[in-house]
Amino acid sequence: MSILVAVLALAGLALVFGVILGWSSVRFKVEGDPIVEQIDALLPQTQCGQCTFPGCRPYATAIANGEADINQCPPGGEATIHNLADLLGVEPKPLNPENGVEKDLPMLAIIREDECIGCTKCIQACPVDAILGAAKQMHTVINDECTGCELCVEPCPVDCIDMVPVKTTLENWRWSQPPGPVSLRGPVKEPVTAELK
Amino acid sequence: MLATLFKKPAKFTGGIKLPERKSLSNGAELRIAPLPAQLIHPLGQHIGKAAKACVAVGDRVLRNQPIALGDGLISADVHAASSGTVSAIESRPIAHASGLLAPCIVIDCDQEDEATEPAPHGNDFLSLSSDELRGRIRSAGIVGMGGAAFPAAVKLNARGRAIDTLILNGAECESYITCDDMLARTQADEIIRSIPIFRHILGVPNLPVIVALEDHMQQAIAELRAALEKSGLRRVEIRAVPSIYPEGGEKQLIQTLTGLEVPTGGLPLDIGLVCQNIGTAAAVFRAIVHGEPLTSRIVTVTGEAVQQPGNYEVRLGSKVADIVAAAGGYKVGKPARLIMGGAMMGFALKTDDVPIVKGSNCVLVAAAEEVRPTDSTMPCIRCGECAEVCPASLLPQQLYWHARGDEFDKAKNLNLFDCIECGACAQACPSHIPLVQYYRYAKAEIWAEEREKAKSDAARERHEFRLERVEREEREKLERQKQRQAALAASKKPDAASSSASNGAASDPVKAALAKAAAAKAKASDSGGAMSAIEKAKATAKQRQADAAGTSATAEVAKPASAAAAAIAKAKAAATATDSDESRESALTPAQKAIAAAKLKARKAAGNSAESPTAQHEAVETAQQTPAQLAIEKARAAARQKETSEVASASPAEDKPAKKSLTPAELAILKAKAAVKKSQQPSAPSAESKPAKKSLSPAELAILKAKAAAKKADKELSTPDAASATKSPAQLAIERAKAAAKAAQQGNGE
Ligand code: SF4
Ligand code: SF4
Ligand code: SF4
Ligand code: SF4
């Protein structure tokens, strides 16, 4: 009898906890793969495919599945590799030269508009819909949306797309690091403020 | 709150005593700088969005005429400071630490200084609403004149918050600068008379007001007291605050006057305070009472390297070179450094070709002995002097290390963004470390990071949207294609559709299936028959199933889809049957038909397993050898298949290779399907379509069909009339049907 009570009690408990666990697994379901999300958040979202994957998210998925190394994203460069290494708890390594080289300056596509024949090929290539235009009409790049992925350059049949460095404006200008006694970045010659003697 | 007003002045934490060097400029009277030959009006002279030019090159403009209008909520209009012709609207160097160019409107002055009619104005401002008054301040282009250049109209918007004190800030704490001192001395009346305007705008008639000046500005304080007495205003206090840097900082002054601290990241408004510079107050008075926009200001021109240091009333847009010339020019050749703003918070100019703007309070022409050489930086000795003087109670030394090591997160966590960049720490530092530059650098890097993050988030969103769009377009294309096919089929066989409808037994899905089958066939024959019609039909079915799986709303589609496959099979079977058999079919009972069908299937299966794959012709022949049975098998389908077989015969070339390419297994499946269709149609068409609702691959479908066929045969046999008449053959038929199903499965598994 007492055995029965114990068994019933345990069964009851198991049932109760089973229900709670079942409910919470539905209620607190984690959407998607959080590690993929986290990796994707660190990637530059240039969507250029230089990592050999068709976009940043597929690369993030591949990293999460252990199918790709963390050093394959040239647009992200050193900084992204470091961030990824931090996140995944692995040793940072230099960028894989097979994937490309890191650019010094952020780039931007510019269409030489008088040469554009309106073939729409660049629109189809642009991963972020940063090009405006219609068939047989002049096309143009929305500067703010261009990620500088260069995917539109190759398909253009008349080669009228140039990649140019993003211009420094009052909005994106930055103060430089002052020359320290032993500056980590080497001497920078630009006296910018004045202090009293 | 009132109690705090009369409390003994508190002192803000930190602060440093600076060498004042104010006597250099405040000894002389206010002088008026001559009208320059050219005025340069940058479109962005304020915090917020740059204004938009509203004049064109070649236009003649008059003084006070708006030449650029504020764009957006936080923006300000720009007015011509004298009459002349707009000679260019282009990028010119402006007074900015970067030395970058920015869009400017350039006016070649005609020296007539002709002004427009003044804007609506007068002393009756009490009859106007708060919003109207702020609108006038905005269209007068007034921004904070203490240096920050934040649009005054925005700052005067209480946004429903209770205001309990207005502070007019004249505590000019930076060394060298005396323009506010000069303003208070010369325009004390205007400053005091602006108080009723502010009170009205803020909606508090008896709002307590504190006019704060540093204790060394004795003459200015006296002037203000006299003006106050004259005006008869009450609850206005003129308060002298100790001269300690940075007393004039908004947060520091508030702390000194009220003992309250503005919360991190907050505004004075959050603690019920509004703070305006006295220069702004005078400009507001002139705009409301005289209808004058902001076109000039007092600028301190000072330093050891200029001939006549002093305060000058300067037209906005004058070049620094012009006002240095007005002050007698440079003393000895080139000055060691030309600084816009004070020695502490100003920045070095790379050229004197830049214009004076609304927020320019001082041009410091520094001689070599006045500035600290830039190469005198020595390592930090961790003395802690910097933390002593920081008015924001930060840890400048810590911030410095983090900024130098690019550890921006850590700097941020140490409240880097509370730093007002006052430079007190750098001034105190015995190692001459340019600390403020490090903080500006760190802030700029953090902002850049945030911009990049926002940009990459936007790129991600756009990329995902694009992927979704591409997919949707693909889907819609398919959908349209199918609709076209259906429409084609419907228009091709309107009579056939009606004849099958007259059949009575045919339900809508069946009709639809037939139409689909016909369309698929038509398409196959159009394309030249490279692919067999069956494969085509299967492909169509597969597409439909995929669609059904993709969009739950079209789950129904699966029904006609599977029906389509079956119908095609039937069409095939019908094509092999002779038309003359039709007459015989009609004579048979359902039970007999079922038996015949089962037998046929069994035979097919047998032929299937016994013969090599190449023997499929024989299999077809077998079917033809027993035309009667075949005819039975086609009994129900025939009526509807007529039109389908028409299509089939219309494209014999296409149909034949289709038959040839069939493996026996496939054939068996098809037959099974046909059998299913037939036996099922008269009894319960919906019973069979249920499993089909699930999105199955054609292969799975075939198996299901075969099974269903067996079951159907079973069922039909058990109907009273059939069972009683032909019992043993019926059992036989069941067995055969089962065998057929099994064979079909095997065939399918190959
Ligand atoms: S290389 Fe980098 S930026 Fe380009 S697609 Fe791959 S992860 Fe994205
Ligand atoms: S415009 Fe060209 S470079 Fe810019 S995002 Fe689109 S495809 Fe890439
Ligand atoms: S510059 Fe910043 S850190 Fe230095 S004293 Fe001023 S508020 Fe403090
Ligand atoms: S005052 Fe200068 S030397 Fe002293 S702790 Fe601060 S940064 Fe270092």
CA B91 / ligand 2 centre spacing (Å):
28
pLDDT at B481: 94
For ligand 3, residues with CB inside 6 Å are: B 389-392, 394, 396, 419-425, 435-436, 439
Distance B423 CA to ligand 3 centre (A): 6
- ipTM greater than 0.85, yes or no? no
Measured distance CA(B294)–CA(B316) in Å, rounded:
8
Count interface pairs A-B at CB distance under 8 A: 131
Which residue's CA is the closest to the ligand 4 atom numbered 6?
B386
Over the stretch B633-666, which tens digit does the pLDDT of each residue have? Answer: 444 444 444 444 444 444 444 443 444 444 444 4
Distance from residue B385's CA to the centre of ligand 3 (Å):
11
> Which has more confidence, B6 or B159?
B159
Q: Looking at the complex, does the CB of residue B347 fall below 8 Å from at least one CB of chain A?
A: yes
For residue B340, give the H/E element and its range.
Answer: strand B337-340
pLDDT > 60? residue B593:
no
Q: What's the average model confidence in pLDDT over B137-155?
A: 90
pLDDT value at position A179? Answer: 75
Cα B373 from Cα A195, distance rounded (Å): 9
Which amino acid, residue B639? A
Closest protein CA for atom 4 of ligand 1 = A48
**Ligand in nearest proximity to the CA of B392:** 3
Q: Is A109 in the pocket of ligand 1 (CB under 6 A)?
A: no
Instruction: Please give the pLDDT value at position A181.
Output: 62
Q: Is B378 in the pocket of ligand 4 (CB under 6 A)?
A: no
pLDDT over 50 at B43, yes or no: yes
Gyration radius from chain B CA atoms: 46
Q: B310 pLDDT band (50/70/90 cuts)?
A: very high
Let me know: does A150 contact A106? Beta carbons within 8 Å: no
Q: What is the mean pLDDT of residues A97-122?
A: 89
Comparing B243-247, B315-319, B488-492, B682-686, the range with the smallest average pLDDT is B682-686
**DSSP secondary structure letter of residue B163:** P
Q: Alpha helices of B392-434 — where are they, by DSSP H?
A: 396-404, 408-413, 424-428
Distance in Å, CA A172 to ligand 2 centroid: 20
Q: Higher confidence at residue B677 or residue A54?
A: A54
Residue A158 to chain B, least CA–CA distance (Å): 25
∠ CA(B707), CA(B710), CA(B711), 5° rounding?
Answer: 90
DSSP class per residue in B524-551: HHHTTSSS-HHHHHHHHHHHHHHHHHH-
Q: To the nearest whole angstrom, how far is the Cα of B52 from the nearest Cα of chain A?
A: 16
CB contact under 8 A, B343 and A196: yes
Beta-carbon separation of B100 and A169 below 8 A: yes
**Portion of chain B with pLDDT greater than 70, in percent:** 64
Give the tokens for residue B328: 């007698």
Q: Which two tokens stand for residue B610?
A: 């016994």
Mean pLDDT throughout B511-529? 48
Tell me, what's the pLDDT at B316? Answer: 95
Could you tell me which chain B residue has the CA closest to the CA of A45?
B456
Q: Which residues of B touch A129 (CB under 8 A)?
A: 462, 465-466
**Contact indicator for B736, B671 with CB cutoff of 8 Å:** no
Ligand 4 site, residue B231, Cβ cutoff 6 A = no
Instruction: Give the CA distances from residue B711 to residues B474, B563, B687, B734, in Å, rounded to whole numbers and listed in that order.
Output: 40, 18, 11, 8
Mark which residues 297-316 of B lie under 8 Å from A by CB. none
Chain A residues whose beta carbon lies within 8 Å of the beta carbon of residue B462 = 128-130, 145
At residue B726, φ and ψ (nearest 5 deg) are -130, 80
| Residue B538 pLDDT exceeds 90 | no
Residue whose CA is closest, atom 3 of ligand 1?
A46
Which string of DSSP letters, residue by residue, matches B122-138?
-S-GGGS-HHHHHHHHH
pTM over 0.80: no
pLDDT digits (tens, 9 = 90+) for B324-372: 999 998 887 667 889 999 888 899 998 989 999 999 999 999 988 888 7
pLDDT of A175: 87
Chain A residues with CB under 8 Å of B465 CB are 129
Given a cut of 90, is residue B712 above it in pLDDT?
Answer: no
8 A C-beta contact, residue B307 and residue B328: yes
A45 with B463: Cβ contact below 8 A? yes
Helix (H) or strand (E) holding B679: helix B664-683
For A34-43, B38-47, B727-736, which range has the lowest pLDDT when averaged over its residues?
Answer: B727-736
Instruction: Flag if B372 and A192 touch (Cβ within 8 Å).
Output: no
Which candidate, A27, A16, A194, places its Cα nearest to that of B365? Answer: A194
Asked if residue A125 has its Cβ within 6 Å of ligand 2, the reply is yes
